[in-house]
Structure 1
Amino acid sequence: MVVRLRDVAALLGVSDATVSLALSGNPRISKATRDRVIAAAEELGYRPNRAARALRTDATHTLGLIVSDIANPFFGELASEIERHAEEAGYSVTLCNSNEDPARQDNYLLNLLAGSQADGVLLVPTSSTTAGLRAAGAAGARMVVLDRPIAVPGSGLAADHLRSLPTVRSDSSEALRHAAELLVELGHRRVGIVAPPQGTPLGRERRREIKDALVAAGVTGRDVVVEEGDFRQDSGFAAMTSLLGKSNPPTAVIAADGPMGVGALKAARAAHLRLPDDLSFICFDDTPWFELFDPPLTTIAQPIRELASAAVDAILGLIAGGPVPDQSRCRPRSTFVQRASCGPRPTSSTRSSHARATSYKTDPPGKKNS
């Protein structure tokens, strides 16, 4: 038996138009009504008639791109590359910045989908799953998930659709192996991680991958020390401050993204530690100015061009009605870029003497900061 839109409307005692608007994410429909419609659609097993929908709406040749933080240089460069690839295919891009706010993300997502403002959406999600994502899933929206995977609990129409979406993200396992082996070769046996939020799939996965690489290289699990951040610079500062304040602080630190890495470096500087004499440091993402730092930073460089190309190809394939793209192409490899921010493990006496000397030079005893 084919379940039609009118069957969902009849079950709820609402109009066909209300169901249609709710499933398309139209902001005129309240969240409570939208949730009721999604639940009823899942219960009945309703699936939108894509062929009919295509006849009712004209292609816009526009892609929606929602990034989680445009101030993060990684996403700025990724957006630029996506725009270039989309333009080559005859598409324009509408860029939205959710600013790590799930509600803002959902508002952008549903507005892009309502009234077919975009033929498809590329999304860097702020969290594992949201009400807006569920609504988009129930409507069968054409989306590609970028950089951060989503976690979809349960079953039903929305969950099944969301789980089927292409996810384009880098594979950093080989680059992390090289990073861990370098640190061990340099004598480091206690390593800190400034990790992404553990409430996200990316945070849990990246923490596990970094720790596994370190343990495989010879660091004991108890000597991998983790402090959690939130993708923001301030959280990187706080995480590094906590790592350095431990009774047995790490002699090397890996920061799991660029903004947190910059915050961590500020904390190291505030503690009067010098790279790489007092602390070795590796950061995810390779922004153009990291090689201009003193010393230039060792990084895990994500393949931005390959990510952009794979993401655009994936969404255009969905728009054309093609199959889900090959997942191997959706996982291009990151690269380990060795520069000068990693050195031999310092002794505790060497580190403390450097800190005392730098502290006196920066802020002499008895002189207050103005």
Structure 2
Amino acid sequence: MQNSLPYRIFFWAHRWFGIVAGLYFVLFGITGSYLVYEATFDRWMYPDRFVSESAADAIDIPRYVATAQAGLQTDRPPLRVTLPESASENVSLIFNLADIGTAPRNVRVYIDPSTFAFKGAYELWESFGVIMRTFHHDLFLGAAVGRFWMGLSGVLFMVILLSGLWIWWPKLRFLKKSLKWPNLRSLYKGAIDLHKFFGIYSLLLMIAVTFSGLYISVPSWFQIGGKPSAPRPPDITSELPEIDFSAIQTQLASHGLLNRPLRVNYNARDQSVTVRLGEGQPGQTYDVVSKTLIADKPHEEGPKPFEMRRFQREVHGGDYWGRLGEILTFTSGLLPLFFWMTGCYVWWTKRRLKAV
């Protein structure tokens, strides 16, 4: 069966797509693994930005905003105010400092909730995490072009995965032996056996992560009559109105919602303010005119209806399986490096042996 035409085609595709495009997928995998634990890595790299000098029980959203505005020397309202669950972590705010009608220029600010000290600010493009995220999402090519190429990359990686299954499958009569830990008799033979062993055991995980990434990048490919996404319009098209964060905090407190974790989001396009509460809790929309909080749409207060894209996002990021899912997704991002190194080593060694 190894001499059959389908086998030779799949073997050729698996070898050359893997060798030539393998390093490309290694970078995707490493950036994806980083993003699974992005917050943890950021805390390791920039502890001063995240850790407060002491725990702060009181919450003062207006003062966080005023301190951040003073530090940035701007009177614009923040697009987001995030209070983490732990009172010993700093509050973060995001401001868009771009001129009207231009591309976003987002700046993140950190405020110590216990001392209200300005702990620093940086443009998101200067963040290592944002660089990793942008490469992983659209290759620095922009949403339309980048996500199209990400879709093609997902298809190519699916070909590599499924061709590997085809190559392994003809040896079904040796199924029991193939599923056992290999006998690492030599570096060359061990590289082959380990490539097969980890490949077959991680196949379903790799397919799930790859397909979910493909779906997220180009959902229109999976929708009848789907159209490419339109270019994103500028975030700021007119002068932003003043947002009364004191009124927002008062409304939250009156509803018993002024608790950590908490996120206040301001949408500059429709000038709406939403408040996201703790994980799994219903959201609230703040009416800037009446200065009142109203619950989100009724269906959001109960079980959410099934949405394919949200489901694929949870699978891709590991959230669908909880803590175990994060570990599996993190591992799946490192496996392409192992497969590429062992595959290249086997190909190069076999090539040298034939030349002798």
Query: TM-score range with shorter-chain normalisation?
Result: under 0.3
Higher helix share: 2
Higher relative contact order (CA 8 A, sep 6+): 2
Q: Give the number of the structure whose alpha-carbon radius of gyration is greater.
A: 2
Normalising by structure 2, report the TM-score: 0.23
TM-score, normalising length from structure 1?
A: 0.22
